[in-house]
Amino acid sequence: MNFQLLIDNLTNPALLFFILGIIAFYVKSDLEIPQNSSKFISLYLLFAIGFKGGQELSHGLLTVEISWSIVFGISISLLIPIYTYFILRRKFNVMDAGAIAAAYGSVSAVTFVTGASYLETQQLTLHGHMVAIMALMESPAIIIGLLLISMYNKDVSTQIDQKSVIKHSLTNGSVLLILGSLIIGYIANAKQAEGIKPFTNDLFKGFLAIFLLDMGIESGKRLKDFFSFGWFPVVFAILIPLINGTVFAMLSGLVTDDVSNRFMFAILAASASYIAVPAAMKISVPKANPGLFLPMALAVTFPINITIGMPLYFLIVQHT
């Protein structure tokens, strides 16, 4: 691994604010981001990345490469929950295994955004169709995870209404916002769109840093209870994303030669959802333990990806 890449990522202001959030919790500081502000920033990040992606997408055509890339992305989100579910069942019950599998098959928009920021440091550009692929990868993993729970759950009292699950996964706020922003960015008049460019572009990194500060505080709150579950969830949350990212970084060469696209495929495969999936599980599988899948995705996998993962995946796509 290129040591300088690792150092560059470790000194990224966004990551440092994330660490500050964890420290703030452990020193019992009263530092906090108001809930309404945190929600606004989450919506802003989804809106900005979607709109910018739509603008980028409007400059090109739907090529064979983009079509195969869409198929590849959706295939990732269908495949990962299946094999991770059976690994997780060795230690967890059906509902917890299904919820965690769905989280690791789905994607983290914030990790994606951080990956896009990382590309900028390497003088590379995020292509708009990758934003569409990210949005399309949210729902399939949720549906697969819930179907696995439904298939293997023997408890009649906790059966899942599959129609409502599918509807919720497609109308989930984060999915709807990023897809809607993508479409609006695509059809918007280029001159008119310039008027909001300072908001979508210039403020982006500052809002990302504040959001990661909030994520750090939330991670700190959940770490203590999470470690009471033993070594297995910690090891899983470290190794599985690195394995997924590495494998799909190499396989992405089958559908595209573009380094930035391949890097983002690795990020999507390695990331774990801590927004859309917890929201879906809270409604559909209330007995699944959020004290497991939330800290795994947010407090372990997320920092692993933005410290070790990104330089590793970038190195792989550069040399394979």
CB count within 10 Å of CB 5 equals: 18
Q: What is the pLDDT of residue 13?
A: 81
Query: How many whole angstroms separate alpha carbon 120 and alpha carbon 82?
Result: 33
Q: What is the pLDDT of residue 257?
A: 94
Tens of pLDDT, residue by residue, the chain (320 residues)? 455 655 666 677 877 888 898 899 989 999 998 988 888 888 888 788 778 778 877 776 778 999 999 999 999 999 999 999 999 999 999 999 999 999 999 998 888 988 988 898 888 988 888 988 888 887 788 888 888 888 888 765 555 566 666 666 666 666 678 778 888 988 888 788 888 888 887 888 888 888 878 878 877 887 777 778 889 999 999 999 999 999 999 999 999 999 999 999 999 999 998 777 876 777 677 788 877 888 899 888 988 998 899 999 999 999 88
Longest CA pairwise span in the chain (Å) = 57
* Angle, helices 310-319/109-121, rounded to nearest 10 degrees: 60
* Dihedral sign, Cα of residue 92, residue 98, residue 104, residue 109: negative
Q: What is the DSSP string of the chain?
A: --HHHHHHHHT-HHHHHHHHHHHHHHTT------HHHHHHHHHHHHHHHHHHHHHHHTTS---HHHHHHHHHHHHHHHHHHHHHHHHHTTTS-HHHHHHHHHHHHS--HHHHHHHHHHHHHTT----HHHHHHHHHHHHHHHHHHHHHHHHH---GGG---HHHHHHHHHH-HHHHHHHHHHHHHHHS-HHHHGGGHIIIIITHHHHHHHHHHHHHHHHHHHHHHHGGG-HHHHHHHHHHHHHHHHHHHHHGGGT---HHHHHHHHHHHH---SSHHHHHHHHH-TTS-HHHHHHIIIIIIHHHIIIIIHHHHHHHHHH-
Query: How many whole angstroms separate alpha carbon 155 and alpha carbon 161?
Result: 14
Domain span holding position 278: 3-25+33-319
Q: How many independent structural domains does the chain possess?
A: 1
pTM of the model: 0.77
| Residue 163: CATH number of its domain | 1.20.1530.20
Q: What is the pLDDT of residue 1?
A: 47
Q: What is the pLDDT of residue 176?
A: 77
